Amino acid sequence: MNKDQKNKKMMTIFALMLALVLTFTSCGSTESSALSTTSGEVTTEAADNAVSKTEMFTERDLSGEYDESEAETITLSGSAAETSAASGVTINGSTITITAEGVYIVSGTLSDGQIIVEAEDTAKVQIVLKDASITSSTSAALYVKSADKVFVTSAEGTENTLANGGSFTADGDTNIDGAVFAKDDITFNGSGSLTVDSPAGHGVVGKDDVKFGGGTYTITAARHGVQANDSVRLAESDVTITSGNDKDGIHVSDDADEEEGTESDSFFYIADGSLTISSGDDGIHADAAVIIEGGTIMVNESYEGIEGLSISISGGSTSVKASDDGLNAAGGNASGSSRTFGDDDWGGGAPGGGMNDGGTNGSISISGGNVHITAGGDGIDSNGSVDISGGCTVVEGPAQGDTSVLDYNSSASISAGTFIGTGGAGMAENFSSAEQGLIAVNTGNQSAGSSVKLTDSNGDVIAEITPELDYAVAYVSTQDMAKGETYTLTAGSYSESITLSDNLYSTLSGGMQGSFGGGGPRGGMNGEANGGMHGGMHHGGPGQQDMPGNTDDITGASELTGDTGA
């Protein structure tokens, strides 16, 4: 990445972060014209976390440190290479194989070759990229065949590239399909930058854990940006991902779980840093859990924004733009060419298939942070429950179609924080319970740019938002709203004075809340171009091809395991 490109990227990131700040000042200020409330400021850091960064990362994952005086060097030059190592490294033409634990500093350019790590299964190998560029025309630029763990460290002040040239050749029974391909754990760290380019496959593939523990990354792929079996974890890193058509930005799924009929524990975790995604399918998909405890996530383009059986947001700033659902709690592998879901999503695996009520095991929990969703489908869509207990959540959905700001099939509760939503009226559902004031009303059709404003009996503004999409319903709930008080809700040409005789006030008439709704899988039961049986008696996700497979309930975040070693 040259200086101009880096400056341009930094300006883009700054602009996006500024936009988030302007949007999310709603929870702490009345200065923003986009959205404001009088509620107390919401921290962007995780509070009372279910897991923590120290469980998810070792010290070495995050340090990126190395002793150059004790490291071996590998110098690349066109189609050849040389090394200072007396043992532990073999060079065969443009193929460099590392066979022993140690630290290896790689510099120079390899026009058509690769680095292979083939060490003992107890070996920890650190590859330090120091202005290194490696392209493999028919395989992975970095191929980890065996090791305990590999650290890929981008040295401070350096720019590095790992790329595939446009095709992949299998290694025996191993189908290599990423510019970086690791059969064992791999951690990316350091303070330099790394570009991963894969015009014919995935960007980074990890058959175990893939971690980003420092540095700046730009990943461009024809398929998934990052694909892992066990987990993808991010902290102290700046990661930008562009994935291919119908492919996910981040995809965490273990096909072996489905084949063996075992529970999946594949998860995504972010503690801090920034993640920017433009994807053809899901922005982030994890079979079991998506855990957001801090950092900045910007899904700028996606079909579904964030998908997992459980989605937990306790901190940070999360912005999602999706042509379908924004947040979708649905089980199984719902991305790419293998779209399968568990028994609870489909008629129990009974002969002949058939749908049931959409399942009840999914969950979406927002306890802190700032969340802004702009969705062409349902804003928040759960195959089970929705629970909001803090933070500031804004949902903007379309005014037309069988979509809803909120879609669930067991329960939806709000006990604290701020929730503001606008969207369509046809399938609109309300929360099933509220421990603070909540107003959800049909406003009639209102145009984008028509402000939604809630004022108290003194005329003071409690909350205000200016939606970017047309809408026909509005939801407002903040901790400043109290039972027995009178408020005025104005939305475009609509205005109503409302006294909260109970916490929950609603005039919504759409949907069948809590019964047959819920964030159903993207199954393919009919021939609609973009919908399964989405609406009325079965409010699932839009249909796509292939009948589902059979999986058990998926374990949630409490089952996740961290690291104890380096």
The amino acid occupying position 373 is: I
Q: What is the pLDDT of residues 185-226, one digit of tens each?
A: 999 999 999 999 999 999 999 999 999 999 999 999 999 999
Residue 413 scores a pLDDT above 90: yes
**Residue 50 confidence class, pLDDT cut points 50, 70, 90:** low
**Residue 350 confidence class, pLDDT cut points 50, 70, 90:** very low
Query: What global pTM score does this model have?
Result: 0.83
Q: What is the pLDDT of residues 247-276, one digit of tens each?
A: 999 999 998 766 677 788 999 999 999 999
- Residue-level pLDDT at 172: 95
Q: Please tell me the distance from the alpha carbon of residue 462 to that of residue 143, in angstroms, as a whole number.
A: 56
Residue with tokens 């379908």: 324
| HEC sequence for 395-464 | EECCCCCCCCCEECCCEEEEEEEEEEEEECCCCCCCCCEECCCEEEEEEEEECCCCCEEEECCCCCEEEE
> Where is average pLDDT lowest: 331-345, 374-388, 506-520?
331-345
Q: Measured in whole angstroms, how far is the alpha carbon of residue 199 from the centre of its chain?
A: 22
Q: Comparing 282 with 537, which gets the higher pLDDT?
A: 282
Q: Mean pLDDT score of the chain, rounded to an integer?
A: 83
The enclosing H or E element of 195 equals strand 193-198
Q: Residue 111's CB: how many other CB atoms inside 10 A? A: 16
Per-residue pLDDT, averaged over 32-56, amounts to: 54
Residue 37 scores a pLDDT above 50: no
